[in-house]
Amino acid sequence: MNASGSNWVLDLLSRDSMPAPVDWVQALRRQASDQAATLPQPRRKLETWRYSRVETLLKASFTPVVQAPDISGQVVPAGISPYKLVFVDGWYSESLSHTDGLPPEIRIGSLREHLDQDSVRKQLGQLANAGENLFTALNTALLNDGLFLEIPDGLVLQDPVEVFYLNSAADTPQLAQPRNLILVGKQASLTLVEHYLPGQGRGYFHNGITELQLDAGSRLSHYRVQDEASTAWHLSQLYLEQDSGSYYHGITLSFGAHWARTEYKTGFRATDARCDLRGLYLVGDGQLSDFHLDVHHDRPACQSREQFKGLLHGKGRAVFDGRILVEQIAQGTDAQLTNDNLLLTRDAEVDTKPQLEIYADDVKCSHGTTVGQLDPQQLFYLRTRGIEKKQAVHMLCEGYAGEIIDHLHLPSLREQATDRMRQALERI
């Protein structure tokens, strides 16, 4: 806390923000600021923040990026797709992006440049309620730019779309707040890959929100690789709503950042939808990785799968809080939730809490969690084959993590993820 008894988030919300590009966004911002005044501050006494060390984030201070930054000197990886969108400090960079060759029916690019679209006006802010928590309110109250992607009915895009989030070399800790809106039309299909890359400047806070709407029969494969700098704070909130027969395949790989938290809030608006959430987190000295899932089954005959695995070493710490809620109306629900953790050192720590809350009687649901160490017998077996201990540990860890990485449908992305995991394991 600062001298005024408030935190930097409330200080920012109390200031007059820059005028929004259109009136309805200004109204959305103002409403979020008003809601923030009534919200509780994140703290350990709140169950959702109990293990998250959020007080250290609130003691810091960050400056919001209120205009497109200087992109000179920015280097963007080649990527695995011909289609690339780049955001610097949360702002879209047209010069660094490449969307040539995409079907003209697709609407894609800067959210700020698409605010006149009816679909944006109707959908923005509908899933991510600014009254959800203080950080959601902050993102909405200072909303400026982010990714807008709308796939029309029936369009199947074969090549993936890649999105890169970069941070400029600023002298002061900055606040980047991309606001993403992704709309997938009926019977449409898309693969979206997001990369959160290390920044060049001092510590920064990425406070991003993504709203995803999948219409009937649509498919979205959504892969996210969080590999931010060791000085970074990272918060991603994903709000997902699915229509009948749709399929969402989401995988988050968390390698970087000093403090990283990912939240999934998913819901269904019709029957026969499927949601598949998976994640892998590698956590070492000075790192906290935090996953929160809220899967809400409020329609009959929907399916969800949640599988998350952690590799912890040094004094790394992880938090997993997964909840499946099955309403009485949601008969025929099929939901499974698992969280497994492998502690490679004595000082590593994980707090895991999978939950089932069921009010229907015709369901097939399960949940479970494990926390353990490498099997000494497996290590002994590899050592007797002439394999050094360090290499044997790496082999077992790769096999353990491969259960998540192998679900990435893009071979080149699987290779990248495996290489990054090996780099992290070299520090053990």
Q: In this predicted model, what pLDDT tens digit does every residue of 359-396 receive, in sequence order?
A: 999 999 999 999 999 999 999 999 999 999 999 999 99
CA dist 316 → 24, 66, 135, 176, 198 (Å): 44, 34, 24, 25, 19
Q: Which of 47-56, 157-166, 361-370 has the lowest mean pLDDT?
A: 47-56
Per-residue pLDDT band at 174 (split at 50, 70, 90)? very high
pLDDT score recorded for residue 15: 74
Q: What percent of the chain has pLDDT over 70?
A: 97
**CB–CB of 191/413 below 8 Å?**
no
More confident residue, 82 or 172: 82
Per-residue pLDDT band at 16 (split at 50, 70, 90)? low
Cα distance between residue 365 and residue 407, in whole Å: 22
133-165 burial, b if ≥16 CB within 10 A, otherwise e? bbbbbbbbbbbbbbbbbbbeeebebeebbbbbb
Per-residue pLDDT band at 131 (split at 50, 70, 90)? confident
Q: Which of 16-20, 63-67, 78-82, 265-269 has the highest mean pLDDT?
A: 265-269
pLDDT score recorded for residue 17: 61
Q: In 3D, which of 49, 86, 52 has the Cα closest to residue 69?
A: 86
In three-state secondary structure terms, 395 is: helix
Work out the average pLDDT over 167-179: 88
Cα distance between residue 341 and residue 349, in whole Å: 10
Work out the average pLDDT over 197-204: 80
Q: Do strands 179-184 and 147-151 pair parallel, antiparallel, or not at all (unpaired)?
A: parallel
Residue 202 pLDDT > 80 = no
pLDDT score recorded for residue 2: 38
Mean of the per-residue pLDDT values of the chain: 93
Residue 225 pLDDT > 70 = yes
